[in-house]
Amino acid sequence: MFAHDADNGSVQDFEHLLRSYDFSDLLDEIASADPPAYLRRVFAEGLAAPRVSWQLVQQLAACAIVLDAVANARSYPELEPELIADWRAHHYAALCALRPAAAASLERALSSAAVLAEPSASAELKDLEQRVAA
């Protein structure tokens, strides 16, 4: 039922992209909403926003990491494992269906001025886009 990915990750893999980003706030926001609906809204905003700001790039990346953890069964120690396991058990199919939208929003973010000005963040975002699209 679940994809198995022996390659585990770390939020530290995205240190330039997510510097000073607070995952606990994001996880609380997602948990207090319907997780698939929340992530769908964020990825839709990434695709529709007239300008992709650095703040939106970070939010897209953080949501993509959550999606990667659930849909690709990748372990990120910095995320709450019990919460991710719960979302995997209850929202797996719906979250897997969001992978194309997530990848498209990350691809759009790759061309934003904020990311282009940060070569290390750009490389990390490209890696994340490939993880989500896999």
Residue 112 near residue 125 (C-beta atoms within 8 A): no
Which phi and psi (to 5°) does residue 80 adopt?
-75, 105
- Coil/strand/helix, residue 82: helix
Written as six digits, the tokens of 97 are: 């269906």
**What does the alpha-carbon distance between residue 19 and residue 31 come to, in Å, rounded to a whole number?**
22
Contacts for 39 with CB less than 8 Å, ≥ 6 apart = 30, 63, 66, 67, 95, 98, 102
Average pLDDT (115-123) is 83
Q: What is the pLDDT of residues 19-39, one digit of tens each?
A: 888 888 999 999 999 999 999
Region of 73 please: left (phi>0), alpha (psi -120 to 50) or beta.
Answer: left
Round the average pLDDT of the chain to a whole number and report it: 88
Compute CA 115 distance to the chain's CA centroid, rounded to the nearest angstrom. 16
Q: What is the pLDDT of residues 63-103, one digit of tens each?
A: 999 999 999 998 888 888 999 999 999 999 999 999 999 99
Q: What is the pLDDT of residue 100?
A: 97
Written as six digits, the tokens of 12 are: 């530290």
Question: H or E stretch including 15?
Answer: none
